[in-house]
Structure 1
């Protein structure tokens, strides 16, 4: 029972934490690019970035299989490079988590960047700061609450991902069986007590995450 419970919990936290690092990096870069740039097709690109937020998880899983599956150019290249398919691996679960977590991170960070007064950034440039220094020492600190909120929400979303992970990474205990999948398997096998343990754990983690987000606002 202990391994049945703790292994999926540990794996879920590990995947969600790693996914948030990638989502934070790409989310900050994408948000900065989209808020500071103006170009044709910007609305279309932004819509694509936010698409995983509204797509059914099974659709996201299907698209990941089409992109990274053995029959796709990307999938074949990965197989040639690593001598194995990325599907049904820890990395597949990580990719699924990043994809679903990214839009929340991006949207929150973009809101933070847009709230920064352009006059403050302009004043820093007049005082001799370059664009990188303005971004690092002005934009980021003034947006930190939004960045933290985005990080928390993205972590919670990655932790709760089920559909795309189940389709793309499968249900492999100790490798891809995250808490949401473990809940489904436990309930399907009639182990209601184990399912309750997972559910209570998820509710507590999600409650704490949302509470922190509310407090920092």
Structure 2
């Protein structure tokens, strides 16, 4: 039973934290991209889409180079925290966040761009600041796109496999998420365990979709 419960709990923890991180970043980047159309935002908009296009193992390889113990960033973090980033559950969160980010940004940005500019200009004339505009006008008017982004982002983070395996590894009880545990079960010919974990993963994702839909309604 522990071979299923522990990966499930880790997957939920990783996916939840990763979705929150990607959601905050996604809202801010979508806001910037939608209302500041210039060469820089166009370039960065392409850059954040790259994790959606390249194979997950390639993304994981890049993260390994960036966060590994021999990298400058990896050594800096290890000197501060006393432990490496790679091959920990935190590395799994980073991988899932980056993998989910493009799926959050695209529908949110599209919803932001459909907002009537006159509505925003009227609010600015009434003295609304940027934070007030985002909180009270832009986000409420774009809730459908935000809902779609949250759903897609969580589903991607929950099912993330390739990048997580590269940068966090497959350590039972520490970094083995449910997706990796399913792969392990199939490799070991434990098909019943694999069936159960696949069903659980599917049900958890569907339940999340339902709860998010109810919350936004």
- Could you list the runs of 5+ residues in structure 2 that have no partner in the other structure? none
Q: Which moved more, 1:120-129 or 1:207-216?
A: 207-216
Contact 2:107 2:146 in 1 (8 A): yes
The 1:138–1:13 alpha-carbon spacing in structure 2 relative to 1, beyond 3 Å, is: same
Match of residue 108 from structure 2: 109
Contact 1:166 1:181 in 2 (8 A): yes
Partner of 1:11: helix, strand, or coil?
helix
What is the TM-score with the length of structure 2 in the denominator?
A: 0.93
Which digits, 9 at most, give the CA deviation of each residue in 1:145-174, with x for residues without a partner? Answer: 211221111000000000011111011112
TM-fit CA distance, 1:72: 1.1
- Could you list the runs of 5+ residues in structure 1 that have no partner in the other structure? none
What is the CA–CA distance in structure 1 between the aligned matches of 2:147 and 2:102, rounded to whole Å? 14
Contact 1:31 1:106 in 2 (8 A): yes
Partner of 2:48: helix, strand, or coil?
helix
Match of residue 34 from structure 2: 35
**Residue 56 in structure 1 maps to residue 55 in structure 2:** yes
Match of residue 45 from structure 1: 44
Which digits, 9 at most, give the CA deviation of each residue in 1:22-76, with x for residues without a partner? Answer: 0011000111111111332332211101110111000001000000011111111
Superposition RMSD in Å: 1.9
TM-fit CA distance, 1:200: 1.2
Q: Which moved more, 1:198-207 or 1:53-62?
A: 198-207
Contact 2:34 2:113 in 1 (8 A): yes
TM-fit CA distance, 1:212: 7.2
Which digits, 9 at most, give the CA deviation of each residue in 1:194-214, with x for residues without a partner? Answer: 011111122233445566788
Match of residue 139 from structure 1: 138
TM-fit CA distance, 1:137: 0.7
What is the CA–CA distance in structure 2 between the aligned matches of 1:38 and 1:138, rounded to whole Å? 20
What is the CA–CA distance in structure 2 between the aligned matches of 1:189 and 1:23, rounded to whole Å? 34
Q: In the comparison of the two structures, how many residue pairs are matched?
A: 216
The 1:171–1:38 alpha-carbon spacing in structure 2 relative to 1, beyond 3 Å, is: same
